[in-house]
Amino acid sequence: VQLVQSGGGLVQPGGSLRLSCAASGFTFRRFWMHWVRQVPGKGLLWVARISSDGSGTTYADSVKGRFTISRDNARDTLFLQMNSLRAEDTGVYYCARDPGGVLQFADALDYWGQGARLTVSS
Amino acid sequence: AIQMTQSPSSLSAYVGDRVSITCRASQDIRNELGWYQQKPGSAPKLLIYAASTLQSGVPSRFSGSGSGTDFTLTISSLQPADIGTYYCLQEYNYPWTFGQGTKVEI
């Protein structure tokens, strides 16, 4: 199982950026996926999740209406489109797989990407 | 949102010591809690899911217990490889929420 992320960078406030997470080594279309953010030197914040077929999404209140999680099951890739970026969105973003309902009954985040750093600053 | 209160925020112990970290949820989350270890510069790693089930490949010195609102991660014999920051995560409802983290030092 591998999750390889790309797309981080430096963006001005109000700008946009899209993160990608390419999956391999497992049947991507079967699993729910999540994004988690880590503020430098601080803790972890759950950001968003998407169902296996992409029909269901949920967001943290802090990103609702600005971020969009999506997936392309034909390309085994997860996305996070981030618009109207703010300084407080700065951090390292991780994609993660949820084995719940597929490999086990319970939800969890069993495999993580390597992280993509986003800096929002003028 | 469910609040997860984790304690202590940091601890220092000797190799071989038994170490415990606790998480308290602001409401009943049944057993829908996981524990994660993070080393500097790396992504978090799943240790325990469903409060007490050891993830495949994780050493048996790690164990989890609890249900409802109070949960504990225990390392039975602390090893140098165990240094890092530990987080609990509730998956009972959205938004999922993490504890603030516990930094473990030798």
d(CA A42, CA B17): 27
Cβ proximity of B82 and B20 under 8 Å? no
d(CA A99, CA A113): 15
The pLDDT score that the predictor gives to residue B99 is 98
* Residue B68 Ramachandran class (φ > 0 left, ψ -120 to 50 alpha, else beta): left
Mean local confidence (pLDDT), A67-73: 98
The pLDDT score that the predictor gives to residue A12 is 97
In sequence order, the 6+-apart residues with CB closer than 8 A to the CB of B53 are: A104, A106, B64
d(CA A91, CA A100): 27
d(CA A23, CA A101): 18
Give A18-62 pLDDT, tens digit per residue: 999 999 999 999 999 999 999 888 899 999 999 999 999 999 999
Which of A34, A46, A110 lies nearest to residue B97, judging by beta carbons? Answer: A46
Contact A58 B50 (CB under 8 A): no
Judged by a CB distance cut-off of 8 A, whether residue B62 touches chain A is no
Chain A residues near residue B38 by CB distance under 8 angstroms = 44
Q: Bridge-partner residues for B83, per DSSP?
A: none
Backbone angles phi, psi at A89, to 5 degrees: -85, -10
In sequence order, the 6+-apart residues with CB closer than 8 A to the CB of B13 are: B19, B78, B104, B105, B106
Cβ proximity of B60 and B74 under 8 Å? no
Q: What angle do CA B4, B7, B9 make, to 5 degrees?
A: 110
CB < 8 Å from A in window 13-52 of B = 31-32, 34, 36, 38, 43-46, 49-50
The pLDDT score that the predictor gives to residue B37 is 98
Cβ proximity of A45 and A118 under 8 Å? no
Judged by a CB distance cut-off of 8 A, whether residue A106 touches chain B is yes
pLDDT in tens, chain B (106 residues): 999 999 999 999 999 999 999 999 999 999 999 999 999 999 999 999 999 999 999 999 999 999 999 999 999 999 999 999 999 999 999 999 999 999 999 9
Give A72-105 pLDDT, tens digit per residue: 999 999 999 999 999 999 999 999 999 988 888 8
Judged by a CB distance cut-off of 8 A, whether residue A101 touches chain B is no
